[in-house]
Amino acid sequence: MIAEALQYLATAALTGRAYRRFVRYSVNLWSRAGRCGRAWAAHEASSKDAMRAAMSDLRQRRTAVVLGSGLLRDVPIGDLAASFDTLVLVDLVHLASVRLWLKAKGYRNVRLIERDLSGYDDLKAGRDVEPLGFLRSVPYLDFVVSANLLSQIGRGVKRRYEADAPSDMPADTVERLIAAHIQGLSDLPCRTCLVTDISYAVIDRTGKVHEEADLMHGVALPEAKVRWDWPVAPLGEESRDYQIVHKVIAGW
């Protein structure tokens, strides 16, 4: 509890006013990741492997961008920082502990950007929805990774849509913004790598599935090269009798 409070206070102090309300989600994720480290290890290794494979044959390695860099647990940060001239990490929030760790590692070519990648504000304002349009102004862009972010965009957008209701937001807001992220990646003139959890299942101790949901809300996904399971809430995390397992895909 004390570690969480310190992480919260230090991160809030370093985070722009517009993004401070998201700090508690990042701190909650950090706490859970700490508790579930062993259960998440295979997922984190698979995510890193996919990203390494996606960049392995790139001839030019000038600028790389990681979307949803978060805790840097499922991103091969050392390889990216060593391989590219500039590495840009984009997230709503960069935890104080992550900032400190990057400093301690001495990565001089890493830049942090706080940004809402959902496109919700543009849709609400009736503007063109191009949540990744800002990448057009990043010079020498050679590689973009979407790092276990897309399902979280869907969750955040759904939460905001419900909180705003009744509003003029279209009924398919969540689907549109998930699709806009996928389209935005495929429109980029460089190598991209999409790693995302796409569904979840609540499973009991006998292996029986009690509940399932599509985290992509029916939006068509590009073809996956690799798939795996991620025990987001192993037995004992949310319940003694049930675990929550997400299906993850990676494509590039």
Q: Which residues bind ligand SAM (CB under 6 A)?
A: 26, 29, 68-75, 91-93, 116-118, 147-149, 152-153, 156
Alpha helix ranges (H) inside the chain = 2-14, 23-35, 37-55, 77-83, 96-105, 120-125, 150-164, 173-187
Closer residue to ligand SAM (CB): 60 or 175: 175
Smallest separation (angstroms) from ligand SAM to the CB of 239:
21
Give CA–CA dist 67/88, Å, rounded.
9
- By C-beta, is 89 or 141 nearer to ligand SAM? 89
Q: Using CB positions, name the residue nearest to ligand SAM.
A: 70
Q: Which is nearer to ligand SAM, 22 or 210 (CB)?
A: 22
Of 53 and 208, which CB lies nearer to ligand SAM in the complex structure? 53
CB of 92 to ligand SAM, least distance (A): 4
Closest distance to ligand SAM from the beta carbon of 208 (Å): 27
Question: Which candidate, 178, 136, 141, 27, places its Cα nearest to that of 92?
Answer: 27
The 10 Å Cβ neighbour count of residue 92 is 24
Nearest approach in angstroms of CB 152 to ligand SAM is 4
Cβ closer to ligand SAM: 15 or 63? 15
Smaller CB separation from ligand SAM, 68 or 231: 68
Q: What distance in Å separates the CA atoms of residue 163 and residue 146, rounded to the nearest whole number?
A: 26
Report long-range pairs for 128-132 (Cβ below 8 Å, ≥24 apart). 129/176, 129/177, 129/180, 130/180, 130/184, 131/177, 131/180, 131/181, 131/184, 132/67, 132/181, 132/184, 132/185, 132/187, 132/188
Minimum CB separation of residue 156 from ligand SAM in Å reads 5
Eight-state DSSP code of residue 220:
-
Residue 13 has, within 13 A of its CA and on its CB side, a CA count of 9
- Residue closer to ligand SAM, measured from CB, 75 or 129: 75
**Could you tell me if 226 and 249 are in contact, meaning their C-beta atoms sit under 8 angstroms apart?**
yes
